[in-house]
């Protein structure tokens, strides 16, 4: 009977570890995606700004 209790405790502990791991993986992925989105937004703003500058240069030459 003691072995069964040990198995139950180990199983419970493993389930807790899996749950903890899943929560942390989700948070890490969300943080990573948020940082990636910020870099994409920054690059987009920079490219839009560069395009507008170049467009204004060409329009002024016409």
Mean pLDDT, contiguous 10-residue spans, the chain (62 residues): 92 96 91 97 95 88 80
DSSP 16-44: HHHHHHHHHHHHHHHHHHHHHHHHHHHHH
- Spatial distance between the Cα atoms of 35 and 50, rounded to a whole number of angstroms: 23
User: What local confidence, expressed as pLDDT, does residue 47 receive?
Assistant: 95
CA angle 41, 27, 38 (to 5 degrees): 10
User: What local confidence, expressed as pLDDT, does residue 61 receive?
Assistant: 82
User: What local confidence, expressed as pLDDT, does residue 24 receive?
Assistant: 93
User: What local confidence, expressed as pLDDT, does residue 57 receive?
Assistant: 86
User: What local confidence, expressed as pLDDT, does residue 60 receive?
Assistant: 84
User: What local confidence, expressed as pLDDT, does residue 62 receive?
Assistant: 77
């Amino acid at each position: 009977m003691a072995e069964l209790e040990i198995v139950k405790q180990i199983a419970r502990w493993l389930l807790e570890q899996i749950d903890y791991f899943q929560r942390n993986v989700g948070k890490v992925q969300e943080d990573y995606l948020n940082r990636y989105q910020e870099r994409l937004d920054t690059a987009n703003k920079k490219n839009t700004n560069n395009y507008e500058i170049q467009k204004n240069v060409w329009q002024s030459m016409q």
